[in-house]
Structure 1
Amino acid sequence: MSSSIEVRVAEAEALNPLIRRLRLQAPAGQALPAFKAGAHVRVQVSLPGEQQDWRHYSLINPLPEAGATSAPTHYDIAVRREDEGRGGSRFMHGLQVGDRLVIEPPKNDFPLHGGHAPVLLVAGGIGVTPLLSMAAELRAAQRPVRMVYAGRSRSLLAFLPALQALLGDALHVHADDEAGTPLDIAALLDGCASDEQVYMCGPKPMLDAVLTAAHARGWAPGRVHFELFTAAAPEAGDQAFDVVLAQSGVTHRVAADQSILDCLIEHGCDPLFDCKRGECGVCAVPVIEGDIDHRDYVLSASEKAAGNVIQICISRARGPRLVLDL
């Protein structure tokens, strides 16, 4: 299989003021590679300054039919516009029907696990996209599933009609502006059956709240399956620091609003990476010296305490510098 696929934009639709759905097809109309719920494609985007980069978008399937994604004639994705971002979402929102794109074949870092246990899907904002496909796949398998879909406003929750048709009363919608408060994560987990598996996709604060609540209740590791939909973002109090590359002796300054990974790429380095969200572990680098502010979801508590490896896409230095074995 080729490492890249050319597709054309066959449809483009604004689902709400922030989210746009794009339908991608092979130019000759042939079937595209199969995928399962939770899969994504990497799409090549053009950034300001004629730079090229890649963005990940979950593949969407609302059809509760066995084999619905075994030989798809198109891929549906949804893109949330981020005006403060680097420009990838603005590029995607500017695409028109007929435009060509280069994508990579589907990859699945967020698969549904087998078995017969009931499933709770927890979606925050644009994080609904992989969970819609999961809901359809679970319905096709006649497996018990319910879903909570949360966001600031009902008007910004994409795919509601499809989800309502798919799940009926098994869908609970939480809009902050209607409820007057954010989703109560503690109550949500307290309402789970003892064998219920949780799949969550949404913003980092929501994921952190779910993981913290699950840990506080003594849930077994791996009962909560998750994916973030945003890359690393600066946090309050973040400071600039130096990264020393031990193998060359070169020092680079990492800005307060920049990841180590992006700093290294900016200076011509070619580090390994994939998700840029601290989930996959691909960008792990040994640390020779320095105190690490771990923000990833890959390392265990003991590995973080050892302080000898860092996920450079999301974690930072607590002090003025880190010395990396690069």
Structure 2
Amino acid sequence: MQTLMDVASLKGRLDSGRRTVLLDVRWVLGDPHGREHYLAGHLPGAVFVDLATELAGPPDPGRGRHPLPPLDQFEGSVRSWGVRSGDVVVAYDDSGNMAAARLWWMLRNAGLSDVYLLDGGLAAWRAAGLDVESGERRAEPGDVVLTAGAMPSIDAGRAASWGQQGLLLDARAGERYRGEFEPVDPRAGHIPGAVSAPTGDNLGADGRFLPAAQLREHFTGLGVRPDVPTAVYCGSGVTAAHEIAALAIAGFPAALYPGSFSEWSNNSANEVATGAAPYADSAGSNDLF
């Protein structure tokens, strides 16, 4: 199943009048001004998606900083963006699809198959010399019906033992994995058994995903194999979806741990490991700092 749509293909769809729902997921950790960025300039016809309120429920120590919202609530949001049954949906952002991938995963998980990431996002659109528009774009409500569970996922209990039966990838930056720096969660380090696989390694300097063969070589080097069950987490389940998209491009399926490290580190019963190795320098369950 194709994950990406390039700028030329999207432009061709729009020029031919084929129905395409464009969704702008402008969000970056530490930058609360996504809507303002959208209003200043976005793809023509794109509707803004608020990650914090439409792609997540309220923060909950027991479920993480960005817990998945209830299905009926998410369905209401998707309909408000104008999505109808059978539509082609293209999501993008201005940060290498780090945020848009969250929407891609959620829509795929909800049973929609024609959902794509615009490779390179807004930057690629602008680099092609194409126009953007400003202001708010509102859609006629759609009628899509969502289901649940089309994409594999795991919970904290399965994450605890996943490294013993398969491969658990940590999509955060290396310094957060090693426990050298933790800006938002109560403990620094990683889930014991996890392998460091920073999401930024999936992209080239132009913000586009690396070619499939290069991604496949990269992930194979981390231990990903067709016969090894793979799961991914990050800080709060957002950029882990980007890793799953990259794995899909490379031809590997993977499960998401939605609560991710923000859920894991809030439970004092869960051990946290520090250092560069999966099980190195294990910190006790009460080692909170």
TM-score, normalising length: structure 1:
0.29
Which is helix-richer, 1 or 2? 2
Q: Which structure is larger by alpha-carbon Rg, 1 or 2?
A: 1
More strand by share: 1
TM-score if structure 2 supplies the norm length? 0.32
Q: Whose RCO is larger (CA < 8 A, sep 6+)?
A: 2
